[in-house]
Structure 1
Amino acid sequence: MFRSAAALVLRQSVRFQSSEAGILERSVNRVQILGRVGQDPVMRQAESKNPVTIFSVATNEMWRAGESEIYQSGDINQKTTWHRVSVFRPGLRDVAYQYIKKGVRVYVEGKIDYGEYTDKNNVRRQATTIIAGKEILD
């Protein structure tokens, strides 16, 4: 037990020192969602940039609160979270725009991206977007 903990600390220490030497470490930015499309996809193209297909997906989380979860009594609560999905890959972008419609259940794999933009009133806004990667299944 002690040996494995010591080995883990040693490995982390070596990784930390190697990252200081300019060696890039691997990391993971991956998200998977399964939900319903909230609006028909829109294809947009900014000046001198590739087009992008954008749509939203709703995911629901349900839980029971109250008396007892064992006997399944109490109130059922639900929280809906909306996710913005952007599709840049040429083949996937066109298929998503053509076949995905409002209300369809979809599975999206991709990465999460945080960015800023300026709206039409010149106000800086923050946006969280899922950049669709390999697949979108309906």
Structure 2
Amino acid sequence: MESKVEDFVKEVTPKSTVDGGILFVHNKFFLVDPLSDQPKVLTGSANFSNASIVSNDENSLLIIGDKRVADIYLTEFNRLFEHFWPRYITQQNKRNKIKNEAGFEKPLDEKYTWFVDYFKKSSYHYKRGRLFIEMKGAKKVQ
């Protein structure tokens, strides 16, 4: 005997891979001051459109002050950002007719200098690293 969930999966799975994407699962959340003592996470099914908020049967959950939840959502945000950023750069390069085999500003670095920016205090990579080091529970590195 199959469950209703299994029936649902069988029904929607053939429809879910149009153009190679999944049509019905995606994240929607806002983070406000995620590294503060009072982080705010707004998450749920609402699309933050007028119809979604006023007419549709959707939900939103506001979580205030839970640092663990904020850390989890911030980690997910960064995972998504790191996944989609190279795609964005590749699209921009194509749009601007920039030719680069790797599709990024810097191709493969065979001279092992890729890490230098991670130690320049003015660089994005250094600042981003500090952001995570200073998260709750992380050990300070001098």
TM-score range, shorter chain: under 0.3
Question: Which is bigger in relative contact order (C-alpha 8 A, separation at least 6)?
Answer: 1
TM score, norm. by length of structure 1: 0.25
Name the structure with the higher strand share. 1
TM score, norm. by length of structure 2: 0.25
Name the structure with the higher helix share. 2
